[in-house]
Amino acid sequence: MERNNRKPVVGFIGTGVMGRSMAGHIIQAGYPLLVHTRTRSKAEELIDQGALWHDSPATLAAAADVIITIVGFPSDVEEIYLGQGGIVPHARPGTLLIDMTTSSPALARTIHDQAGEKGIGTLDAPVSGGDIGAREARLSIMVGGTKEDFDKALPLFRQMGSNIVWQGPAGSGQHTKMANQIAIAAGMLGVCEALAYTARSGLDPETVLQSISGGAAGSWSLSNLGPRMIKGDFAPGFYVKHFLKDMGIARESAHAAGIQTPGLDLAHEMYSKLAADGGGELGTQGLFRLYQ
């Protein structure tokens, strides 16, 4: 997406664990970058690289050609996009809005409809890959919206991810992310239980991982989070509190469609217990604490 043979001005809202790396790839690729986040200190690294700070979503929206957001919860998305001081009321016609937060499919469609009334394009483009994928620009990006808007955004997506797939109309990216989180949720129980069994059996866990991660049991969680569990490293690449939010959306969407999700329901119960015990700020691999 270029305007007058120049790279578009990109606005980025949300520079947390993942957003900071994602925005960094964009500025390193030569795009003019505007940033806003609730805590300015989290954007200082980007500002030092040349990003321009904006005090509000409204002023950023008025100055950007493309706006990317990755924030915490659907309530944050709704406020940032549709609130009186938000993006949709202040963005110019022709702007492209890309929400990369894991959020509600229904909210993605609402934003698409309201923005469309002003001639503004939208994409819902949640990601998977955690802090490692964000740092290494290897995120999986699942995109909903028009194919035309997807094609416009593709050069930017390629700065942040390596598996980039258009899924269909508005809301499709979020539905795909729900499928992703459902698959991960029950899988995380399996990873924890396998490592707990390994320890109780007197085996060396790293040696066991070497064998099972390359076989039929292999998964991203086993290969990337299993070693962290073994070391007792529960620092967040993706927060428990955010995974609980995702599982809540997935459960609501699945149950509304009449689908039973016993694996997801059990994972939600276990993670809720971890959060109640003070583990909400841990990474998702912190679930292993319940098995120790």
Distance CA 157, CA 141 (A): 8
Distance CA 226, CA 232 (A): 10
- Where b means 16+ CB within 10 Å and e means fewer, 5-22 reads eebbbbbbbbbbbbbbbb
3 state DSSP class of 146: coil
Distance CA 121, CA 165 (A): 18
Q: How many CB atoms lie within 10 A of CB 131?
A: 18
Contact 98, 87 (CB under 8 A): no
| CA 122 from centre of chain | 17
Dihedral of CA atoms 190, 280, 110, 165 in degrees, nearest 10, equals -40
| Residue 3, token pair as written in the block | 């305007």
3 state DSSP class of 259: coil
In the chain, % helix, strand, coil (3-state, to 5) comes to 55, 15, 30
Selecting among 147, 177, 231, 241, the annotated active-site residue is: 177
- Annotation says 231 is catalytic: no
Q: How many CB atoms lie within 10 A of CB 51?
A: 25
| Residue 207, token pair as written in the block | 């040696």
| Residue 5, token pair as written in the block | 């043979």
Q: Which residues are catalytic?
A: 177
